[in-house]
Amino acid sequence: MKISIIVPVYNAENFIDKLIKSVLCQKYNNYELILVDDGSTDNSYNIIKNYSENNSQIHIYKKENSGPGLTRKYGFQKCSGDLLFFIDSDDWITDEKVLMKINKCFSENDIDVLFFDREDIVGDKRETIRGFDYIKPGKYKISEINDVIRPGLGAKILKKSILKDEMFIESKIFEDLYTTYMYLDVCEKCMYVNETFYTIYHDNNSNSLSSRINDKTFEKSLDIILMLYYKISNDSLKGTLSLRMANIFATYSIKSITNMNRNIEKKIFNIVKILNDRKVKIRPRNNKLIKRVYYDLMLRVYLRRIANEDKK
């Protein structure tokens, strides 16, 4: 099966070389590498152009800046493969046998999506992030998944025949979460292998989402996750999305109290009602008790506030 590796490229002159080399060293050769420059202001385009001049499997495109969501969509519209592997420009494929293993999984199994593990590198520290926290390796129906689904598109392989243009969204936050759930909502079967196919590098100076969050980005994330919840029809997926909601609520709900932004507060209320109706219990990674206690406390606080609002 032909694998299309789709990469949105933006100001990646310091990283893109490593990614391209991780593709070129693959033992499996039935692939194409699609590099879409999203209006870079550095030397990224010249770097990918030089690679494309010497390799017919590398296809490059240049467009005005629109963010990763629409840039992935652009690459999807240009690709010709059977399977889709979306990779960010500062990440890379973990080893030379990954594409071979991906092809084997799809060739020998009737599946719509493949989940796998990834490696996170922060400075000189390495950590394996499992595709799921509680699900064991194997084949499943999508309706059997009852675990948090990682939002990043790099940790899963999709089928071109299933992905559609409308599954992409113009956003610079949670755009991958949107595509993931819209895709899974029309899937039936999946497979999880506990092997590391994908490596993410985090600079020691990079900011986490929690440190970069502001009212605008927080409200946008709430908009997308609520829109998704009401758009998808698979109740099992709604359950996994509500687990994602619970983690977001536990992490950022304090902002609604401190800032008192009324628009954000209304959306938090909506999320709290969903969490309460579904009786969602948070399951943070590494069993962080303090986060679970905080989640339960804040849920009670907001349920009380909702009750007081209803009395007015």
Hey, how many other C-beta atoms are within 10 angstroms of the C-beta on 219?
Answer: 16
Of 202, 232, 265, the domain-final residue = 202
Q: Which residues contact 208 (CB under 8 A, 6 or more apart)?
A: none
E strand residue ranges, the chain: 3-9, 31-38, 58-63, 83-86, 91-93, 113-122, 125-129, 138-141, 156-159, 189-202
- Please report where in the chains the tokens 């799809």 appear, as a residue: 106
Q: Do 77 and 182 reside in the same domain of the chain? A: yes
Q: Do 94 and 129 reside in the same domain of the chain? A: yes
Residue 302, both tokens = 């907001």
- Give the sign of the dihedral formed by CA 22, CA 24, CA 30, CA 36: positive
Q: Do 218 and 197 reside in the same domain of the chain? A: no
Residue 42 belongs to a domain with what CATH number? 3.90.550.10
For residue 53, give the amino acid letter. E
Report the distance separating Cα 109 and Cα 190, nearest Å.
9
How many distinct structural domains can be found in the chain? Answer: 2
Q: Do 135 and 160 reside in the same domain of the chain? A: yes
Q: Kindly give the confidence (pLDDT) of every residue in the chain, 312 residues in length, as a single tens digit, with 9 standing for 90 and above.
A: 999 999 999 999 999 999 999 999 999 999 999 999 999 999 999 999 999 998 999 999 999 999 999 999 999 999 999 999 999 999 999 999 999 999 999 999 999 999 999 999 988 889 998 888 888 999 999 999 877 788 789 899 999 999 999 999 998 889 999 999 999 999 999 999 999 999 998 776 554 444 456 778 888 889 999 999 999 999 999 999 998 888 888 877 665 555 557 788 888 889 999 999 999 887 666 556 767 777 888 888 888 888 887 776
Q: Do 190 and 262 reside in the same domain of the chain? A: no
Of 174, 202, 230, the domain-final residue = 202
Hey, how many other C-beta atoms are within 10 angstroms of the C-beta on 4?
Answer: 22
The parent domain of residue 121 ranges over 3-202
Of 154, 180, 202, the domain-final residue = 202
